[in-house]
A and B are shown apart, each in its own frame.
Chain A
Amino acid sequence: MKRRTVLAAATLLAGSFMAQPSQAQDVTLEFVVWNYSLETIQDNIRQFEAANPGIKVNLTDYTWPDYQDSLILRIRGNTPTDVVYGGQDWLPAWGSAGFIAPLEDVAPKEEIEALAADIAGFARTDVTYDGKIYGLPYYADTISFIYNKKILADAGIPVPTTWEEVTAAAEKLKAGGMDKPIVYEYNQELPNFYDAFVAQAYGRGAELFDTELNPLFADPGNGAYQQLTWLADAWSKGLVQAETHESKIIPAMNTGQHAFTIVYTYVLAALNNVADQPRAGEFALAPMPGATHSTLGFAKSYVITRQAADDPERAAAAWKLVNFMAGKPYTVAKRWAVEKGLGFGQLPLFQDQDVIEAWGKWADVKELGAQAERARAGTYTEFSSVWSAYFRPLLAKAMVGEANVEQTMKDGAERWNQLKEQFASR
């Protein structure tokens, strides 16, 4: 009898433990980012964890040049990874390889559509693959033609509107004693090296590919071909100083020894930062030179991995994190915009007074808005990041006169076609 009582009590006790609801603290998300402004990311995570007790977020960061390599190896190696920063040029490849999941797999479709309705056109294109939305914008930006207002005013040079005028202005400045009037982010290992080139070609109104994804840039009449010719010419005339990263362009422009550069728009915020730049306030953006003044717009996004999407608990937590970082009321996107000058894909923020006020300190907000309207998304396919890695050193060679433009464009088009065929056959 006594033995039976003990057994029953033990069974009840075990049963009561098993009946306990699982602790919400069980979910730990692995969040992978590139290492831009980590302290802000960590602070955003602290706020997310406070608002979502039970979800813990582990942050891992990689450097920007190594980001995609590290992430692919991480996912191929089955390292737990839930939410990652994505790039417009990588998204189709990641989606096609099954590394990431469409948001509709982890969240109600109506909710995603409501958020997508707020996203700017080019940014929406950049987070979409195969008709499905894979991410929400972390930031969306354009590539800008930036000039030093004071240098141009002192030299009596009007703001150039075509690339030929840029050459003329640079030559005039050089004749006046400025050794290298143009500073160029010249780093073939960075995806933005190609992006900046596309932005310049877009300024001329170029189409690099047709609707069937056939390359058009090997035609001498194409704006991309003409732009590479222009770059090689500017280099040969000694007008260009190469810098390997935007972080080096900021102090270089602030020496007052250079008048023009082509960089991500948020760099303008750093250039005009009165706290640490001696020439803050001297820099402004002008429409990208060329016939159409269009430029490249792009979006970096928060995306959820397939492994997270396949686990209901992690998927729900991952969606909460993405929604916190990029969803309504767009608090985090606004924070990036106000504190760091990062662009955004969420259109309602253009009406936000805090954003307008903060951006007004370093840019002409009207001009910025007009540029965003003129911006076009790039052409990205499952193999475009592989192709870009092949093409960038060719571009770099042609710019410094180590290869001719015709051969460079021909080689680039040939490799594109090879990869297109290779991918189609797999």
Chain B
Amino acid sequence: MWEIRRFPVLWLLPALLPVALMTLYPVAYALWTSLHSVMLLFPGEPFVGLDNYARVIQSNYFQDALANSLAFTAAAAPLVVVLGTLMALFLRRRFFGVQVVRSIVLLPWVLPGAISAVLWIWVFHPSFGVLNGLLRNLHLIEGSIGWLTSPRLAFVSVVVAHVWTQIPFTVVLVMAALAAINPETLEAAAIDCKSSWRRFWYVIFPEIKAMIVVLIVYNALTAFTSYDLVYAMTGGGPGTATTLLSFQIWRESFSMYDFGAGSAVAFIVVLISAVLILAITRALPSDLFGSE
């Protein structure tokens, strides 16, 4: 009689083979590409070793994209977690129309990135945008502000749009974590702590902090690898003001047709993402997962 224990690899093969085919092969091919000069419009694909890596790291575009990605991550991830947690706390309450409010808050989650980008373009558009219209109606400005064409404002605008798209997922997970807290604990806290802040910090937060850590890591990675919103809203511009590393992968590959350089940037992004996760988890208090 064959036993699963005796041939574990054999039994796993049907699952492992497609995974290997769909994951390992593309990764290996991308690695091969990053070590060759693969330019779609140039003949030949000569081996160039680490030249692609050296060239992209030295280029101004990469340095700008790296700085932007780090700044984008540092701004967006905490904002998403803080705002998402506050909304989740608010939406736990019972009030008239809470279901409607919950649905509205979750709406950005169901919108594809490109659609969200179009919505935000119309918010930030200099002539016809809602924001400039509002500011004009309030007599706060006379002309128009180039939200997407002024480098610094474009960066802020993209962060705002990204945060808006990411909040719903955080809200859902924090609400799930809140629902798992023992109601008796909350009742006792309500009696012992008059201050909402103290109640949150000393009673609720310790119960949901594991989820918060997961959300910080998740949102940091989502922000660091963000692509679609930036592509659709600003095309990485003006100049390189909103060029993130993921966008730079696209630009090297599909705008400059240099798949070698694009693959090199992709591997660098993977490496930095791994370092980022490690740094975040190391920076957090060691007792975070104390119950484990």
Contacts and interface: CB of A to CB of B under 8 A. Distances in A.
Contact of A186 (B37, B43, B238): B238
A393 B247 CA distance: 13
B254 A69 contact: yes
B108 interface: no
A273 interface: no
Interface string A386-412: 100110011011111011000000010
Contact of A386 (B39, B144, B237): B39
B238 A396 contact: yes
Interface string A172-202: 0000000110000011110000000000000
A189 B240 contact: no
Contact of B235 (A189, A399, A402): A189
B238 A402 contact: yes
B53 to A, nearest CB: 16
Contacts of A186: 149, 237-238
A69 B250 CA distance: 11
B251 interface: yes
B149 A180 contact: no
A244 B126 CA distance: 11
A426 interface: yes
Interface string B250-292: 0100111110000000000000000000000000000000000
Given A241-B144, A386-B41, A72 B236 contact: no
A397 B238 contact: yes
A84 B194 CA distance: 72
Nearest to B154: A400
B85 interface: no
Contacts of B258: 386
B256 A188 contact: no
A168 interface: no
Nearest to B43: A426
Contact of A393 (B41, B236, B257): B236
Contacts of A422: 37, 39, 42
B230 to A, nearest CB: 12
A423 B238 contact: no
B239 interface: yes
B146 A241 contact: yes
Nearest to B152: A402
A188 B239 contact: yes
B63 interface: no
B134 to A, nearest CB: 17
A2 interface: no
A424 to B, nearest CB: 10
B126 A241 contact: yes
Give the interface size class of chain B.
20 to 34
Given A389-B256, A393-B61, A242 B126 contact: yes
Contacts of A73: 40
B207 to A, nearest CB: 46
A17 B43 CA distance: 46
Interface string B188-229: 000000000000000000000000000000000000000000
A70 B150 CA distance: 30
A2 B96 CA distance: 93
A41 B241 CA distance: 38
B127 A255 contact: yes
A200 to B, nearest CB: 18
A73 B254 CA distance: 9
A399 B240 CA distance: 12
A255 B128 CA distance: 10
B243 interface: yes
A28 interface: no
Contact of B240 (A179, A187, A386, A397): A397
Nearest to B239: A397
Interface in B1-56: 37, 39-44, 46
B143 A180 contact: yes
A230 interface: no
A97 interface: yes
A385 interface: yes
Nearest to A386: B256
B39 A393 contact: no
Nearest to B61: A393
A422 B46 CA distance: 11
Contacts of B99: none
B151 A93 contact: no
A94 B40 CA distance: 10
Contacts of A97: 40-43
Interface string A55-90: 000000000000001001100100000000000000
A234 B173 CA distance: 49
A115 interface: no
B127 A403 contact: no
A382 interface: yes
A353 to B, nearest CB: 39
Interface in A372-392: 382-383, 385-386, 389-390
A356 interface: no
B264 to A, nearest CB: 16
A206 to B, nearest CB: 22
A161 interface: no
A44 interface: no
A41 to B, nearest CB: 25
Contact of B255 (A69, A96, A252, A394): A69
A400 B239 contact: yes
A251 B129 CA distance: 13
16 contacts: A94-B41, A97-B41, A180-B143, A187-B235, A188-B239, A241-B144, A241-B149, A242-B146, A244-B235, A383-B42, A386-B256, A390-B256, A393-B237, A400-B149, A400-B151, A426-B46
Given A69-B254, A189-B236, A386-B256, 7 more contacts: A94-B41, A180-B126, A187-B235, A188-B238, A385-B257, A389-B255, A389-B256
The 7 closest A-B pairs by CB, nearest first: A397-B239, A179-B143, A242-B149, A189-B235, A389-B255, A93-B41, A69-B254
